[in-house]
């Protein structure tokens, strides 16, 4: 039997919250049906038992005969009450969310003095919080809208705050749209998802016409991120983003600042892929700061791409001890499906960079690479080890398995182009006689021209 929605909701609550819900259901202000409290009490005592709806109904409503219709009505009412509790709980945790509702009620009751008092309190609280999110800007707009409705309902001839309301709406809209453009860029890179974020050209024109808008921290940060990351700005644009993030970081919640750090790090990774080696230290610094501040965890886990990027950057900068410590201390924060394979692959990369080729192969043999990025990473490392050890038959077999895999898996986004180049260059490198200087020079020229090819440095070393 499918678990009722009401009981699914109860399962997400902590013991403390269940006790609060019990008090909520016992209050006549929220609930006047005693069977609701009895249903909660039954669930808390018997949650692990198989559900027998007739038996439960008899315990909860002993004076009523069981009818299927009444059972589903009971569950429906209980679900609405639990949802009301969740809304009430959210309102209690955020005082600013309460004020627009309070102001609306006082305005409708035409309690002018109480309205003005509450509006002053709401504005003082808004200024005190000093948050820099787009949502905070919307709160400012929401308060101005309530004040406009208050003025307009009293005297339609009196001057209003329409200008202030419009300005707050502009600030929210611009900040939120720029934020969405940055998030779209992140999703497109990570998952090849594409979205159309409209009005960006109009926003850029507005910012040129009204530069004072850039004094709004949320707009300043997301505009800098948009220009550097989404529009692919130069190093000066990236440095503006870093300065804006540093200046306004305390005003952003953990999730938003984490996303901004990851976007800035992705900018560095893409610059590295273009051959701009100076960004390795920038990216490493961003990740190191994020680790120290605890920004990298998403729902308690480090994203596997972030884990891999940190290891690669640490190795590139020869921070071998740091990387070894990172793998050992942070592997437990990976999602369960990556908790064994990804640290083993990372340790194999570390062994390779330290010249321990046999150990690298031993570690790679333990990697179950079900995900494409892990499969290609492991195979690329094997390719390097086989070539450097002169294991030509093993290398030839590996290249054939790579060819078959690429033939079968076409939905790899921009990664596919890189691995096709890897396969092509490796085949040619394998077939080149050591004395064929002309052929090696031609291959070297092609590898150097492939600016987005991530293994360019290794191939150039072999061609020397």
Q: Is the Cβ–Cβ distance between 81 and 25 less than 8 Å?
A: yes
Greatest alpha-carbon pair distance for the chain in Å reads: 97
pLDDT at 1: 60
Q: What is the rounded distance in angstroms from the CA atom of residue 220 to the CA atom of residue 236?
A: 15
Q: Is the Cβ–Cβ distance between 4 and 52 less than 8 Å?
A: no
Residue 301: helix, strand or coil by DSSP?
Answer: strand
Residues of the chain with pLDDT under 70: 1, 413-414
In 3D space, the residue among 387, 394, 342, 332 whose CA is nearest the CA of residue 367 turns out to be 342
Burial of 43 (0-12, 13-18, 19+ CB in 10 A): buried
pLDDT at 276: 84
In 3D space, the residue among 463, 464, 457, 461 whose CA is nearest the CA of residue 277 turns out to be 457
pLDDT at 453: 85
Q: Is the Cβ–Cβ distance between 333 and 300 less than 8 Å?
A: yes
Q: What is the rounded distance in angstroms from the CA atom of residue 423 to the CA atom of residue 363?
A: 23
CA distances from 83 to 16, 38, 184, 394, 442 (A): 17, 17, 31, 60, 68
């Amino acid at each position: 039997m499918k678990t009722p929605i009401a009981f699914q909701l109860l399962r997400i609550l902590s013991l403390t919250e269940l006790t609060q819900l019990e008090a909520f259901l016992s209050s006549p202000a929220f609930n006047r049906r005693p069977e609701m409290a009895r249903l909660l009490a039954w669930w808390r005592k018997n949650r692990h038992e198989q559900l027998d709806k007739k038996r439960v109904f008899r315990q909860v409503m002993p004076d009523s005969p069981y009818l299927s219709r009444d059972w589903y009505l009971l569950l429906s009412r209980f679900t609405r009450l639990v949802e009301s509790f969740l809304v009430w709980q959210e309102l209690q945790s955020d005082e600013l969310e309460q004020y627009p509702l309070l102001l609306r009620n006082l305005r409708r009751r035409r309690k002018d003095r109480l309205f003005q008092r509450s509006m002053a309190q709401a504005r003082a609280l808004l200024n005190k919080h000093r948050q820099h999110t787009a949502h905070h800007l919307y709160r400012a707009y929401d308060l101005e809208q309530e004040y406009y409705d208050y003025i307009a309902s009293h005297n339609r001839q009196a001057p209003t705050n329409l200008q202030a309301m419009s300005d707050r709406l502009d600030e929210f809209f611009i900040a939120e749209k720029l934020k969405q453009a940055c998030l779209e860029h992140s999703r497109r890179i990570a998952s090849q998802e594409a979205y159309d974020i409209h009005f960006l050209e109009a926003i850029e024109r507005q910012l040129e016409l009204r530069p004072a808008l850039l004094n709004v921290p949320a707009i300043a940060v997301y505009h800098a991120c948009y220009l550097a990351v989404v529009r692919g700005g130069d190093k000066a644009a990236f440095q503006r983003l870093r300065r804006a993030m540093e200046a306004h970081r305390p005003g952003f919640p953990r999730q938003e600042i984490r996303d901004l750090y990851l976007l800035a790090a992705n900018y560095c990774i893409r610059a590295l892929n273009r051959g701009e080696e100076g960004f390795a230290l920038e990216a490493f610094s961003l990740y190191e700061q994020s680790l120290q501040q605890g920004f990298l965890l998403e729902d308690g886990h480090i994203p596997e791409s972030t884990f891999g990027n940190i290891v690669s950057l640490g190795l590139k900068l020869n921070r071998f001890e740091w990387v070894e410590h990172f793998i050992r201390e942070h592997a437990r924060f990976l999602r369960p499906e990556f908790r064994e394979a990804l640290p083993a692959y990372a340790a194999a990369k570390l062994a390779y960079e330290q010249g321990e080729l046999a150990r690298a192969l031993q570690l790679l043999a333990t990697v179950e690479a079900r995900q494409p990025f892990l499969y290609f990473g492991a195979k690329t490392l094997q390719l390097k080890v086989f070539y450097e050890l002169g294991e030509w038959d093993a290398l030839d077999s590996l290249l054939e398995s790579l060819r078959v895999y690429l033939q079968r898996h076409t939905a790899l986004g921009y990664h596919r182009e890189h691995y096709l180049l890897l396969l092509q260059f490796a085949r040619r490198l394998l077939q080149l006689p050591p004395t064929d200087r002309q052929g090696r020079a031609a291959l070297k020229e092609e590898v150097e021209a492939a600016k987005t090819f991530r293994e360019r440095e290794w191939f150039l070393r072999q061609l020397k």
